[in-house]
Structure formats: C-alpha cells, structure tokens
Structure 1
C-alpha cells in the first residue's frame, strides 16, 4: 500500500493543481490535461491497491474521472478563475484542510468544514464566473459534496 501511495504522490507532482477547494475533495486542477493526468494516476493507484490485495470500496474521484469527466472539464475555466480568490477568502473563513479523523468528532468536524467550504466556494464562484456557468459549476460541486458526506456517513456506519 505504501508503494502505491508513494507512486501516486510522485505522479501528482506533475499535475498543475491548487488547494483552493479545501475539504471539497474534487480534483483541484487548472486545465483539462491536468485532469486527464490526475484521472490516469488515480486509476493506476486504484489498480496498484487492488494488486496489493486491498479493496478500494469507493473512490470519490470515480464521480469525476468516470461518470462526469466532460462536465468537470467544462467547469475548469470557472474553477481556475475562482481558485486564487478562494484561497484568499475561504481559507481564513473556513480554516485549513486537515486529514479526516475517524471519530464522531472528526466526522462532525469534516461535515462542518465541508458546509463552510461549499458555501464560501459557491459565493466566490457566483462573483467570478458568468451566471449560468457559476450555477452549473456550483451545482456540480454540491452533488460532489453530497456524495462525499454520504460516503463519510457510510464509512462511520451511519447507513
């Protein structure tokens, strides 16, 4: 597993990405080519983990890389415009992204942070992107965030 994670991290160094989305775990890439590379690396990581005898129960990135790739790619110009403003505005408001702590308090904190990050991100996207584009880009992030929260609840035994 460590070998798989190391290989993924080395590969991700080649991806032009930002951390502006905070706890919203959508790929934070700037251009379509970076999204393609991100998805390729994620597929390779999942395959490596499988070969090591582990099972990836659910990968949030499947939503982006397999099911909604073209839609995500279409939102990249809006997300790229928003990224610098998100970092300046949302990080001070919502706090830095921290790894998930697997405890009731940790899950509650992640949900609070997701709510703050999502609300702040939508506010900024509405300001920097054309109205129709902002609405679609925000809706995409909301669907992703709902899926993320659903998986947190399943993981903790809520379903």
Structure 2
C-alpha cells in the first residue's frame, strides 16, 4: 500500500508543527514591569510602589527584570541596602545574555550596592564592567550614570587623574 500525496503532506505538516511549534517563545513582559520601567527615571517612588504591589514573577527573565527594577528604584530613593542578593539575581541572569543594556544596568547597580556596602574595590570592578558594556549601546544616559559613579568612586579614593578621565 503506497501513501498518497495528501497523507504525505499531512505527515510533513505534523512533523514541522512538532519541530517549530514547541520552540521556546520569549515571555511577554508583565504590564506592571513595563509601567514601572516607564516611570523609573522621573518617579522612582511610584515605580517601587508598583513593583512592591505586584506578585513576584515566576518567569526567570521577568523575575530578573523585577529584581533589577526594585534595586534601581531603591537606589534612586537612597534607601539603605543590607545585601546584594536582589541585584545579584539580575546580574547573574543578564551576564551571559546578549542584552548589553541590561548587562550594563545590572553591573552598574551591582557597583552601587557594593559601594553602599563599603566594598569599593568590588564596586570599581562592576563599574568598569558596566562601562565596557554600555559602549555597545546608544544609551547615553546610562553611560553618563556609569561614568559619574566611576568618577565619584575615584574622587573619594583620591585618584584625581582617574576621576578626571572618567568624568
């Protein structure tokens, strides 16, 4: 018994559906995360309120973004930091990815948190990593924030020549 053309086409369609239909699709960002990110620079207190009200995301990518945004909002409001565990989640997630902007942001906030925890050497390493990553983007505001923090660190450590170059 020979398979006819319709049977062959149906079999090929099923195989293609199995191969491409089960591929991993990128999760759609939660509306709360998008809203918090949109208001972060002008209203970090509102962004933090949105992030604290929402349930913690279960998707790894969304959870990493949530951790990054919570840390960013807390740092912008000059809230005290007790550990780097929250930003570490985001940093560890974004480090191996190809998203240069998120890698730079997570390295920047790792530096800020370490600086607040009085770990200046670790902060410097993260700031330098962030400055290397931000060069791959066109986000000049982020680049300014990174170089400002690096210059501030150098200035407070009496490294005026390095501070001048960073600023």
For the aligned pair, the TM-score class normalised by the smaller chain equals 0.3 to 0.5
When normalised by structure 1's length, the TM-score is: 0.33
When normalised by structure 2's length, the TM-score is: 0.31
